[in-house]
Every structure is written in structure tokens, then in C-alpha cells.
Structure 1
Amino acid sequence: MCGRYTLLADELEILDEFGLEGEIADYEPSYNIAPGQRVLAIIHNGKEKRAGYLRWGLVPSWAKDEKIGYKMINARSETAHVKPSFRKLMESKRCLIVADSFYEWKKTESEKQPKRIQLQGRKLFAFAGLWDKWEQGENTLFTCTILTKEANGFMKEIHHRMPIILPKEKEDEWIAPVKIPSEKAKTFLDTLHTEELTAYNVSSYVNAAKNNDVKCIQPLT
């Protein structure tokens, strides 16, 4: 599961980290990115890498109602290659979703404790994502989902699932502008190594998606 994350880097850091040219239109950092909101993603259009915004919550091109997106913020990497909603996207509509930490809630006997989780070795990273274009009448949406996998040893203490964070050297390969069998995309994800993570407790203030300021990431004392 991945239901909230952050992106606090400035625009120049992002451009440099991902080898992008030009500007990111309407870029805004966020302490509390939630489903249904705009998320910064990177695709390769066959000529160059491009960064822009997608709506978080996949609406497949064939969907009758865009509300389905709220049920499809994540896709299980173990089965995405055979699921009707994701199979064709695994073949040719792969994206990077830019982040610098994510939140997860650890169940205790009395509550769910929110934690902020980061990579130990680098600040910015990318989730493995899938995107699609949905059109109905005059309405057009570009939406995405974050791929997840079983938690590693570190994350199992917090939650049984975790988002797939792409190793730096695998980012361009994931979004390479070539069509590949969905099974091959699954194999690619299965063989990725997981970088070291670190986590600390934050306030339940982050639970409300409307809260979006530095209090979301302040460590509990």
C-alpha cells in the first residue's frame, strides 16, 4: 500500500536528478500528496523524457466512470501483468512518479502510528508507476497508479506492502519508449533490489489530506 507521500525538493533539484530539460509547468512542492491529487510524473515520449502532472488514481481508457480511480491508487506488481486494468500499461505506459519520502501507518494495540519513510542513500527517488489516458465526451484525464510489492524485512515491521522504488540506474530502463511483453515488465520489477530505508514517527496531523505544511514531517518527540 502507498497512500500518501511527499515531494519537497525544488524544481532545479528535480531537473538535475532526472536529467530533464526546460521547466516543470506549475510545479509545487507538497508535504502530503494524497489520492485524487496531481502527482509529478516522468515519461519518455520517444524523443525525450518529459515531466508533468497526472492525477493519482488510475482511470483505465475503457472505464465508464472516472470514479473508479479512487479504487486504483496502487497496483500489485505480482498480478499487474495479467489484470485487464494494467496489462497493456505494463507493456507501454510505464512512468516514474517523483517523491522524496512516503508515509505508512503502523498498527499498534491502540492506534495507527504514521511514519515517514525515506531512502538512506539519496534524497529524491521515483516510484514505478503506470499511466493511462481516459476520454469521455469533452472530458480527458491523464491518471496513474503506483506499483507495490510485498514488504521487505524493514517494512514488514510497519506494513505488509510497500511501493516499488526504482534503483537510480533502472529508472530510464523502466520508462524506455519501447513496447515489451507484460510478463517481461513483471520480471524486471521482480529482480530489482531494494535500497536501505529509514523511518521515524510523525504526528497524526498528516492523517488529514487537507493538512499540507511542515508539521506533517516533524518528528514526534
Structure 2
Amino acid sequence: MCMSLRIEPKEMAEVLIKIRKMSFAQEMSIKLGKSLIMSGDLYPSDIAPVLAPNKYGKKAIFPMACGFTHQATPKPLANCRIETADRKPLWRDSWYRRRCVIPSSWYYELGYPLYDEDSRSMIEHRNTKKIKFAIQTEGSDITYIAGLYRYEEHCDMQVPMFSILTREAAGTVRDIHDRMPLILDKENILDWIRTDGDSSDIVEKALTNMVFEKAVEYHRSPNELITM
């Protein structure tokens, strides 16, 4: 999956300001050499705002870096298939104990151009150059993407790292790609992140009503878009 995210600062200004003021986030930014802008386009290894339970079990916002690390690959593992998350050693503990939600304005996916009247063969279709689509929850400014997280030792500190859960594509997204993130309704966020929550039950309620359009090329939003 392409799976880069977009965060529009006007929609999440309060959250972004809160994280930037956290001493832990500032230390994390310095040691990892990563920006705390957290708005604009976000990619694997970037720091992003993530919803997870605090020590009292309440929903809270935390800075986390995107992608689990593994000795088998130098690249961050930013996606996790939901079909095997409860069985594979890399994900299993997080599936049961550390679930999170990544709020974003939309996510990006590479797919084939769509035409109202398309008489091309499947081979001709697959030979078409892919384009970038921006995909978001229908009727909402924020798309809540389900994920898993864990703590890893990096630069002499315990860094929270998250990975996005993916599922077989449904609805209109199937016309673009065969996979999509697991997307939650706002009302199901707390049930998903609770350690005693029934994750399988929430999965059954995952949203599939998405809207998409050809993506506009953006650059990272500058600091001045957010007033501290």
C-alpha cells in the first residue's frame, strides 16, 4: 500500500499544539531527528499524533513514530494485515494489549485511473500508469485509522511506534486498490483502544463508505500555519 497520510492543520490545530508542548515529544523529536510539524503529508518514520489510552485508561493523544522496526528489513513496517495480526509474533502482543487510532484528514493510495465508460481489457487496464488518490471517510473531515503500537529502544529512550492495520478493500476503494486501512467510526474509538475491549467486534463495525479524488501534490505545511 502507498499509505502515506495527510493532516490538515486547520482541522487538528488543537491536537498538534498540545503535542508540540509536551517535553516527551520534544525529546523524541531531537533524538530521532524528526520534525514535530506533524501536519501536511506524513510518511513512515515520521512522528504523528496518535490516540491511545493513558495510565488511567482514558483516551489521550500521544506522539508516536510511524512503523515498527524489524531486523529482517531496514524499512519501517508501517502496515499490518488484520488477517494475521493476532497470530504473527511481531504484532500479536500489540493486537491484544496496545491498540491505537491515527486521526488524519485523509490517506493516499496509488491506483489505476477510473473511467465511467471503460472498454479496455484487464491487461490494458493494469498496464495503465497508476495515479495518486486522496481517500477519506464519507461525510467527515477526519478519518480515524485503526493501528497497533509498541515501545522500542531508540537513541537511549523508549519510543512509541505505531503501524496501520489494513484489510481487504471494500466499497468504492476496491476500484483503486485491493487493500485499505481499517477505518473506525468516531464513536468506536474508545472501545477499540481499551485493553479489555473486544477488537474483533469493533472490526465488524469498520467503515467502508469512502470518497476519493485524484490527489493534489502538496508540500509539508510550514510551522507558521499553527499558532502556538
TM range (shorter): 0.7 to 0.9
Query: In the aligned structure 1, how far is the partner of 2:4 from the partner of 2:155?
Result: 31
Matched with 2:39 is 30
Per the TM alignment, residue 161 of structure 1 is displaced from its structure 2 partner at its CA by 0.1
State percent identity of aligned pairs.
24
> Counterparts of 1:136 and 1:213 in 2: how far apart (Å)?
27
Q: How many residues align?
A: 192
Alpha-carbon offset, residue 189 of structure 1: 4.6
Counterpart of 2:90 in 1: which secondary structure? coil
Structure-1 residue corresponding to 2:110 = 105
Query: What is the RMSD computed on CA atoms of the aligned residues?
Result: 2.7
Q: Give the aligned partner of residue 95 of structure 2.
A: 90
Quote the Cα distance in structure 1 between the aligned partners of 2:203 and 2:157: 36
CA distance in 2, matches of 1:7, 1:137: 27
* Structure with greater Cα Rg: 2
What letter corresponds to residue 75 of structure 2 in structure 1? Y
In the alignment, the residues of structure 2 paired with residue 83 and residue 53 of structure 1 have an alpha-carbon distance, to the nearest angstrom, of 25
Give the secondary structure class of the aligned counterpart of 1:171.
helix
Letter in 1 for 2:101: L
Distance 2:131 2:78 in 1: 21
Q: TM-score, normalised by structure 1?
A: 0.76
What secondary structure sits across from 1:36 in the alignment? coil
CA distance in 1: counterparts of 2:154 and 2:206, whole angstroms: 40
1:75–1:113 CA distance, 2 compared to 1 (3 A): same
Residue 197 (1) aligns with residue 202 (2) = no
Matched, 1:11 2:13: yes
Contact between 1:39 and 1:54, CA under 8 Å: does it hold in 2? yes
- Offset of 1:49 from its aligned partner? 2.2
Alpha-carbon distance, 1:33 to partner: 0.8
Aligned to 1:212: 220
* Structure 2 SS opposite 1:86: helix
> In the alignment, which residue of structure 2 is the partner of 1:18?
none
Instruction: Give the residue type in structure 2 aligned to 1:101.
Output: W
Partner of 1:75: 80
The answer for the alignment partner of 2:181 in structure 1 is 163
Counterpart Cα distance in 2 of 1:121 and 1:69: 38
Q: Which residue of structure 1 aligns with residue 65 of structure 2?
A: 55
In structure 1, stretches of 5+ residues that fail to align are: 16-21, 215-221
Query: Any stretches of 5+ residues in structure 2 without a counterpart?
Result: 22-35, 113-124, 223-228
1:138, 1:101 → 2: CA distance?
A: 33
Q: Output the TM-score relative to the length of structure 2.
A: 0.74
